[in-house]
Amino acid sequence: MTSADRKSVLVAGGTGGIGRAICTTLAAAGLNVAFTYGRNHDGAATLADELAAAGVGSFFRGVALEDAAAVSAFADDAAAALGGVDAVVYAAGPNLSLAPISALDPAEWSRVIDVDVKGAFHLVAATLPHLRRRPSSAMVAVITAAVERVPRMDILSAAPKCAIEALFRGIAKEEGRHGIRANCVGPGWIDGGMGRRVVAEQFTPAKLERLLAVTPLGRMGTPGDVAAAVAFLLSDAAGYITGQSLAVDGGLQL
């Protein structure tokens, strides 16, 4: 099978801990992969080499997701390079730290909303025209399992992801007539990317032990755990699933 014969996926946030696992997992499943990155050009180039070694087509570009025109141009160029877009994954989001609501700076709140919520909407607006050209297509947003319950110290992550969850459920309701499915995956504490950084910087060993003690599966997740859920929801095996959120959290939100 040549690259032109394969389905293609566009991943926003391909160089993050979870985003990278999503890209490599989907490439292993035989999809061409186009991805965006923020500042990590070297990581993006290395990932592109890995995708090429997997035998699939790839396309990547540094994109500020809060720039609607840049996101639209990327989607159009990726579709042209890979022969269309069959699936879309929003796996991006700004770096942030745990903090109580009373300590949040309004400027920081605005920054996160601009990058995350606006970025997700810009991706949707740019890619829906491409997805509508396919007989069946799918979108997945990587949000957070914290949308299940109001978290302590993590509202800066949970609130924007709640908005993104509502956006993708709206897509499911409105775009199903075009054969487009839309779902979300909500990671819990993941040993990779921002989750690993927050644990390293803000958790004591005792706090991490308490977290694992209240997690039914007794461990942190891996980026691969999240990527496997994304791959399932994009696949034909999930062909009658839309408008849903799948928590990948080891049972922490129970």
pLDDT at 195 over 90: no
Instruction: Report the distance separating Cα 52 and Cα 114, nearest Å.
Output: 33
167 touches 121 (CB < 8 A): yes
pLDDT digits (tens, 9 = 90+) for 75-113: 999 999 999 999 999 999 888 778 899 999 999 999 999
- List the beta bridge partners of residue 9: 33, 87
pLDDT for res 1: 59
Q: Give all strands (DSSP E) within the chain, no chain letters.
A: 8-12, 32-37, 58-62, 87-90, 137-142, 180-187, 245-248
pLDDT for res 198: 85
Top pLDDT among 106 and 201 is at: 106
